[in-house]
Structure formats: C-alpha cells, structure tokens
Structure 1
C-alpha cells in the first residue's frame, strides 16, 4: 500500500473539474499551447515572456526554450534551441521534451504504480525555497489539480551551475595550458508521489549536450516494511523492518526538430571487433539507416543518433544528436520495459510510454505496441532507464537522491568544439605543427 505523508484531499476535489475539461477537449496543461513544428532554422522560444527561458552562459553559449506545465507529465519544454558562439542564429534541437512515465513495480508482486498517469505526479509539485535554487529564479507554476484556492506553486527553478573542466590541453610548446570551466543551464522541479519526491532535472551544457535525469529522494515507504519473504532488505532493528525492493523505470519522450524540421532520420551504429591487426584486433563499424519504427536494445558497441534532414555544419556534415545512456537496469516484467529505446512515427496523442490516456478507442496504451512498422518520416524517441532499488540502512532518513537518466550529445552540430579558444580555431582537420 502506498500511503502519502501529505493529504491528497485537495487533489481529489479538483479531479472532477480536470475530467470535465478533458471531456470537453480543453487544454489541461498550463502555459502556452504545445509548440508546432517550424521550418525556419532560427525559430526559437515562441511563447510569452512568462513562459520563456533564455540564458546566455558565461562561456558564450545561449539556450532558449519555452516551458509549460502538463496536468500529468509536469514540466514540458518546447522549442529548445542552442546557439554557441560563432553561430549567427539559434540551432533548433527539440520541438518538445518531457518525462513520459515513472513505472514502479514492487518485487513481491503486490503493488505496481504508474506515477505520472495514475498517481498525481503533476499535482504534487513542491514549492522550492530560495536556497534550493542558488543564484537562479523560482517561477510560479499553475497546477491543474492543485489547491483550488491557491493553484500557483513557486516550483520551477532555472539557474546556472558550474560543472568543472569543459576541456584541458597542454600546448605543443609546453608553455601554456588551454582549459575552460564548463557552465550549465539547470531547469528543474520537485514532485511528490506518495513517500517519494522526484527531482526532474534538465541540464543544458555550454557544449550543446542535454542531460535528462530523474532523482528519487524523500522517504522509504514505511507501509512496505514487510519484506519478510526475502524480497527486500533489513532496515533498522528487528526482523519485521525489511523494506520491500522495487524498480523505478523512467521514460522520456523527445520530439526532435533539428534545424527547425521534424523530418529527421534515425541511424544505428554497431561496431564489431574482428580479426587481429598489426598490433591489436581490428574494429569495424557499420551504419544502419532505421527506416521503420524500432524497439532497440542497447549493447556493447551500439548507439543511435538523430540526424537533421535539412541542416549541415560549416564543414558540410549533417547535424545530429547522439543518444548516450546512463547506467540502467532493464526490467523484463512488462512488455514496454523490455527495450531501452523506441523510435515511433509521430502521433499527437502518444504522450506517455505506458497507461497512455490521450488516445481514444482501441488505440494501444503502451509504447511497445506503437512499433508497428510505419515508415519513420517524423520520428519520436522514447528512452527507458531503469533502476532496481534494493534499500539500505543509509536510505533513511531522508533518503539520499539516487539518479537515473541519459544524455543527447551533439555530433557534427558545429564544425569544431563550440568552446574552442580563438588561437586554436585553425586546427579544424589540420594536423601540422604551427609553433
């Protein structure tokens, strides 16, 4: 049984209004309407000032986007663009980005939760203290199913944060070290579901990388201190205090719009270590164009990228973003959690990876069922990252944040490292010594 420490009466009171709004076809998210695909490469942040995020980092990179608050997904980012120094216009990256589910099955088989669609994730937006957003801005968010008397929560933090070295390189002459300290734009919210508090974090690096993470903190569920069947871990003193183990399977949905077009293409790369070369075994890499919908499994020497159909960098190479997964434990217990990544053809009602409520009739409810062999002309990426939580004494009290997530990394978006110092700019493909 999942028991909440804070009363949900106010959420239940508003539920009827939310259902009525859905039945009438009204928008349930808060903020600007969902961004539509654009064709101009420079299109960025097409929303009112209250919902616009624009940050120029100290290293010269500018990120722009719009935000809105969905009644189930929580924070949604639209029209995300990246403009490093040396680029005259913003480079569009994403049409839309959102968390698409947190699936929580318990090891004893007694409980299973779909936190976004069924457990009031968005309604549980937590207010943030100034100390939680150092040097940044905490924005007011209207919560659809929140307190009817005061639906606004100061719950969205936008700030910047140092991440350490962006690069370091000793000069050829040895008398100088080229180094830069990287900066990130950080956008995050905290949402309470039951005993857990989820930190939904988006990090936009000055080198064009986007990191998507969910951090689980809060408290272990006291009502689940009943794992005497061997499906848990002893917590505290006595034989009865054993926390039931469980999984957190987090999904993200990314609708790309590289260079302003949603007509991107997907490529899969596989490398194989073959016969022995002169000193070491040779490695061969093959590229497969993914022309139809795909349920993909990560393995050694495999990765995917989303490629622009229209844009090229100054070297004439097609711009793309590569998917880089973090640590994951794939949960085999449900059909939709059996794969690490999905690419589906865009469908405006397919917004949640499981228990998807937005499509009517007989439309399948989970992402694995949407992979039906359609040609990918407007691909949407779904990324699944799992964490098997076997509790420990140190998880109390409160529970330290445990993170799960992934990154998308620019590949040929710019002709060189966007943070390259001016006196090394000549080294684009050049190798000869120049003092």
Structure 2
C-alpha cells in the first residue's frame, strides 16, 4: 500500500528537513510566477498573465484553443492559473478559472493506526518524479524547479503537456439528407507524477475540445512490503495463504477551484433539484427547481441534484448567462472526519484558505479545515472545494506494480456557447426551435 513512509523519508532527508521547517513557519512556497490575482472582466486579456516560460497554449485539431499559466507550489504541487477556453466561432478567449489546484489528499487507514495529509504533511510536492519520454507521448516535458527539493539539483523534468484522442465527440445521421455527421474528440492533457511513500500520484488535468475540464488523481506505484500485519476485516490477504495482511485505507482527494467566468470572480452558485411525482398520475412527471446558494454552504450529491457556477459578466450569443456545471465523479464518502462528510463546499474567497485539512498558516479564527470555513458569509467570490473518496481494499492484482486507480470529477460548459462548439458549419443554422428547410 503505502506505509513505510519512514523509509521514504530517509531517502529524502534534506528535502524533508527543509519542508518541515517551512511547515512550522506556516509557509507555502512556490516556483514559477506569482499567482494571477482575480481580475475584472475588463482587465481579462487574451494571453494568460504570466511569462512565456510558464505560459501554456494549445490549439486542438478540432479548432478549440486552451490557454493557461502554470506554477509549482511547495505543498500543492502543480497549480494552473488564468485558464481560458476559445472554441471556433468565438473571437476572443472565454475566461473560466482564476486558479485550479489540489486541495488535499487525506489518507486514513482502516486499523486507525495511520492517517496522513499528504499535501501539507508529507512532502507531496517534493516528491515530483522525472518523466520518461514515453510517459508523454507526442507531447512536451517541461522542467520544474521544486521548492525545498534537492538543493544540488532542484530542477525536475516532471510536467507533461500533450494531446490525446478520446473517441466520438458526436455522431448524427441526418434524417433529411441521410448524411453522417461524426467527429472524434480531442483532449489537451497537463499532468505530473508525485511520489509519497510507496504511492505515486498522477495528477491529471484534461481539457476537452468541447469546453469540459476533467480533474483526476490516479494512484499507482507499489504495495508496501512492510504493511502485512492487518487483522481480519481491516485488510485483505495478498499472496500465499488466507491471512489478512495488506491494510485497507481511504484516499480522500480534494480540489480547490477559483472560478472567473468571463474574467470576473463575482460568480453565482445555483443548485438544481428535480422531483418525480407518480401518485395519482398515469405517467410520472418531473419538475426541476432552482435554489440560489448565496451564502457559504456544504453540499451532498444525490439523484436529480446538480450545481452550476454562473457568470455575472457575460452571456453567449443566444443571450443566456454562461455557466459551468459541476459533475461529481464516483465517490466513497469517508465519514470519519468532519471535513470529509460532504461532497463539496462553497466558501467565500480567502487568500490563506488553500488546503481542505491541516491548512498551514490559516487565517486567525477560521480553523484548519474547510468545514470550519462554512460560517455564513455571503458568496461574492465563491470557491469550490470538491471531495472525492476512494476506499482501497487491496487485491492480488495490485502487485506489482499497482494498476492505476482513478478518482475525479468534471466541470462541463452549460450555455457557454450558443451551440455545440464542434458543430459542423452546414448545421450552424439549426439553433433553437428550427424547422426543416424545403
């Protein structure tokens, strides 16, 4: 699994000493440009607000361009700032995010003996791994200066940017002309690999040509050879015999998203719930209601519920407010800690609230975890915290090496453009309540 962290620490003695000193001082150091500050819509520029070395721009073959800045934080690892999306037909980039980053990886073990906050407590950032060329097929590997890393060689070739096909973006057989319309979707990927103990975490940001952004963390690496002493019900037998051995545990991954739709941080949060009625009716009916989330809140996913972040500064060509829908991924919610009891949190922006648990140097009186920050403030600059859990009960197939197991979620454009951004030109007239042409 990934105990034997002491052995891992001995392999990185110098880095650990520096990181512990920084933690004690309540510091989060970083490499790369300073984080882009929230800007108004009028100030939003076409190019990301960073130097060329830290600027990423990728135009996909389907016509969509993604732009952003990158930097490397001494605790969170890779941070993406000033993220914008420009599909074909749009004359300028559409700002989506001020910043996107991991907010914590919390790992409690089933036997109660071990519990870790990997980002703020166990040198996640300092464990950046060098990538081999084959790990970034068709892409570019960038060099990263790791804060508090190896003082003799702090630069690690550890950031991959590449493109990848994802299969069908759409398929439609036209009922009138019998013409087939289909397109293969393209994604732009940005990712790193960080080692913590026996685990290697793959932090992946996937930017699709249809405007969707998917955030994933994949855990791989090795099962710890030291971790073979778990009792029945708290582990799983690995290898010969029936003795329970490898200790089960949870990975509770948090992401922190700072939206800036159309260049403004003054976004609105809305929750939608649908109710299905069957009593006394021949055919069930469904009605959807909207609730404006105006104050800080914790939320939980359930059937027929979803949220969106709505732009206060821009509309699409149909006159509809742009928004991004939050699409949670598969999760196993961990009830053992107050901050993991909910699937997502909406908090008011605070510059020192950066990690969902064990937050170093938190603002006076605000507490050390995200649940303590939900205290009734009005949301004028909302921050989204998403919590996705995975309960890892090991299996024989996890050795050796361990196959990647993924957890994550997406944000999907809702009314960002007036039509599908990949719409073929000869279908562009079919917007709204269209009628067949004679």
Alignment TM class, shorter chain as reference: over 0.9
Matched, 1:70 2:73: yes
CA displacement 1:50-73 (0-9 Å, x = unmatched): 111100000000000000000000
1:8 offset after TM fit, Å? 3.5
| 1:302 aligns with one of 259, 283, 305 | 305
Residue 407 to residue 120, structure 1, CA distance change in 2 (3 Å): same
1:10 offset after TM fit, Å? 6.6
Residue 47 to residue 405, structure 1, CA distance change in 2 (3 Å): same
Residue 22 to residue 434, structure 1, CA distance change in 2 (3 Å): same
| 1:432 aligns with one of 416, 430, 435 | 435
Matched, 1:94 2:107: no
Whether the aligned pair in 2 keeps the contact of 1:96 and 1:256 (CA below 8 Å) is yes
1:329 offset after TM fit, Å? 0.5
1:222 offset after TM fit, Å? 2.1
Structure 1 match to 2:355: 352
In structure 2, distance between residues paired with 1:26 and 1:102: 18
Whether the aligned pair in 2 keeps the contact of 1:351 and 1:358 (CA below 8 Å) is no
| 1:378 aligns with one of 355, 377, 381 | 381
Report 1:16-165 matches (<5 A). 17=18, 28-39=29-40, 40=42, 41-165=44-168
Residue 336 to residue 241, structure 1, CA distance change in 2 (3 Å): same
Residue 385 to residue 149, structure 1, CA distance change in 2 (3 Å): same
Report 1:305-344 matches (<5 A). 305-344=308-347
Whether the aligned pair in 2 keeps the contact of 1:264 and 1:378 (CA below 8 Å) is yes
In structure 2, distance between residues paired with 1:341 and 1:43: 31
* Gapped regions of structure 1 (runs ≥ 5): none
Residue 284 to residue 80, structure 1, CA distance change in 2 (3 Å): same
The alignment of Structure 1 onto Structure 2 pairs a total of residues equal to 435
1:20 offset after TM fit, Å? 6.2
TM-score by length of 2: 0.95
**Any runs of at least 4 consecutive aligned residues in structure 1 with deviations exceeding 6 A, and if so which?**
19-27
In structure 2, distance between residues paired with 1:174 and 1:276: 44
Whether the aligned pair in 1 keeps the contact of 2:19 and 2:123 (CA below 8 Å) is no
Q: Please give the root-mean-square deviation of Cα atoms over the aligned residues, in Å.
A: 1.9
Matched, 1:166 2:169: yes
In structure 1, distance between residues paired with 2:46 and 2:11: 40
Residue 105 to residue 23, structure 1, CA distance change in 2 (3 Å): closer
1:220 offset after TM fit, Å? 1.7
Q: Which secondary structure state, in structure 2, belongs to the residue aligned with residue 427 of structure 1?
A: coil
Report 1:346-425 matches (<5 A). 346-425=349-428
1:287 offset after TM fit, Å? 0.1
CA displacement 1:404-430 (0-9 Å, x = unmatched): 000000000000000000010001103
CA displacement 1:33-59 (0-9 Å, x = unmatched): 011112234454111111111000000
* Gapped regions of structure 2 (runs ≥ 5): none
Q: Which secondary structure state, in structure 2, belongs to the residue aligned with residue 336 of structure 1?
A: helix
Structure 1 match to 2:181: 178
Q: Which secondary structure state, in structure 1, belongs to the residue aligned with residue 356 of structure 2?
A: coil
In structure 1, distance between residues paired with 2:189 and 2:56: 11
In structure 2, distance between residues paired with 1:51 and 1:317: 34
Structure 2 match to 1:247: 250
Matched, 1:284 2:301: no
Greater Cα shift, 405-414 or 175-184: 175-184
1:223 offset after TM fit, Å? 1.9
| 2:230 aligns with one of 227, 237, 242 | 227
Residue 101 to residue 342, structure 1, CA distance change in 2 (3 Å): same
1:229 offset after TM fit, Å? 3.1
In structure 2, distance between residues paired with 1:242 and 1:312: 56
Residue 35 to residue 25, structure 1, CA distance change in 2 (3 Å): farther
CA displacement 1:15-46 (0-9 Å, x = unmatched): 55556668889871000001111223445411
In structure 1, distance between residues paired with 2:133 and 2:250: 32
TM-score by length of 1: 0.96
Whether the aligned pair in 1 keeps the contact of 2:99 and 2:257 (CA below 8 Å) is yes
Structure 2 match to 1:3: 4
1:284 offset after TM fit, Å? 0.5
Q: Which secondary structure state, in structure 2, belongs to the residue aligned with residue 428 of structure 1?
A: coil
In structure 1, distance between residues paired with 2:98 and 2:363: 24
Structure 2 match to 1:263: 266
Q: Which secondary structure state, in structure 2, belongs to the residue aligned with residue 223 of structure 1?
A: coil
Whether the aligned pair in 1 keeps the contact of 2:66 and 2:83 (CA below 8 Å) is yes
Residue 110 to residue 22, structure 1, CA distance change in 2 (3 Å): closer
CA displacement 1:260-296 (0-9 Å, x = unmatched): 0001010000000014697630000000000100000
